[in-house]
Amino acid sequence: MNINIIMNSISDAHSNKRIKDFENQGFDVNIFGFNRGIVSPERNDISIVGNFTNTAHYYKRIVTYINGIRKAFKLAGDNDDIWYYQGLDTALFAVIFGKKRKYIYEECDLVHTYVKNVFIRNILEKIDKYIIKKSYKTIVTSEGFLKYHYKDIKSIPGNIVLLPNKLSKVIRNYPFKKRNDFNPNHIRFAFVGGVRYNSLLSLAKHICHNFPNHEFHFYGYVSQTITESEQPKGNNIYYHGPFNSPQDLPKIYSEIDVVVATYDISSINVKFAEPNKLYESIYFNCPIVVSRQTFLEDKVKRLKIGYSVDAYNEDDVKKLVRDIESSYISIKESISKIPQDTAIDNYNMKDLFYDK
């Protein structure tokens, strides 16, 4: 079966994982994507249909999206292939200019919630739900998104599939080196992923300023929106740069004690998202720190696999570190009781094409 995929960013790790899921399960994929100039694409068979940077004003991107999606449709030609739209910004224009095309829609972020104008945001919410309704299938990566869109379970459309951001099966091919025994006097905190939230920087500053015996590591590229002067500096703060996922993850997690996922809750999306850090925490038995007042906090507390904090509150961060120093071992024991395989994505993509 053929799948035509439109990526809203060719460098996005989740998008590339989804493509590999299709390929590994026997699908033939044609890939079209937008290059945001962050890192080089992982493959050379992507048809680039547009270029822009994350610093470009969103309204200026619209023309790029429209021209790029039209180009993708033209390159693919007229056929009965299923189309796969990743993200509302892509799906919005793809649905407009490809009205008769059968499509699967994947929502990894509530993109429209970043719009500050409430009136426009509400319109986009209605459009988003319309795209979901008209799709052949819609994949959402967080149960929290369903809570945001729908008031109750009965109102959730039957064409929605919940596929959390779990680890790919290929992670089993990369051996995990056992980490050193926990030392409460020298804790290695880390954020693993693209650095683009000030809340992460704030947490690193508060930890490393108040606890010079501990360390904070950043693994991943730093967003173009964060200036050099905004990046926290110190003898116990380390920037390791981009890494390859998933092959580098075992090594990274063998070198850290606590994984951080304190995304900025000023974003509605963050309040309802379920990031892959949750499942990396479970798989690598690494306690996680998340932001307060989020769907993720509720899940972490329910599973007893980590901690929550207000990353901007220095006193709260101090309390967090002391809690970790005293309760780390018990949290690790709690994580170890969760079967490791629950963090692995075992979904058969062919099930998307069967009504249940």
pLDDT digits (tens, 9 = 90+) for 26-67: 999 999 999 887 666 567 889 998 888 766 677 778 899 999
pTM for the model stands at 0.86
What are the two backbone dihedrals, phi and then psi, of residue 72, each rounded to the nearest 5 degrees? -60, -45
pLDDT in tens, 153-203: 889 999 999 999 999 888 999 988 888 899 999 999 999 998 888 999 999
pLDDT at 302 over 80: yes
What fold is seen in the domain 171-341?
Answer: Rossmann fold (3.40.50)
pLDDT of residue 142: 96
- Specify the CATH superfamily of domain 2-163: Glycogen Phosphorylase B; (3.40.50.2000)
Question: Cis peptide before 184, with omega less than 30 degrees from 0?
Answer: no
24 membership: H or E segment, kind and range: helix 13-24
Q: pLDDT band at residue 269, thresholds of 50, 70 and 90?
A: very high
Q: pLDDT band at residue 146, thresholds of 50, 70 and 90?
A: very high
pLDDT of residue 41: 59
In one letter, which amino acid is 7? Answer: M
Considering 1-15, 214-228, 335-349, the range whose residues carry the highest mean pLDDT is 335-349
pLDDT in tens, 304-315: 999 999 999 999
pLDDT of residue 42: 63
pLDDT at 339 over 80: yes
- Taking a C-beta distance cutoff of 8 angstroms, is the pair 157, 132 a contact? yes
List the chain domain ranges. 2-163, 171-341
Distances (CA, A) of 47 to 31, 68, 79, 105, 161: 6, 10, 18, 20, 28
Q: Report the distance separating Cα 291 and Cα 122, nearest Å.
A: 25
Q: pLDDT band at residue 95, thresholds of 50, 70 and 90?
A: very high
Domain pair 2-163 / 171-341, same fold: yes
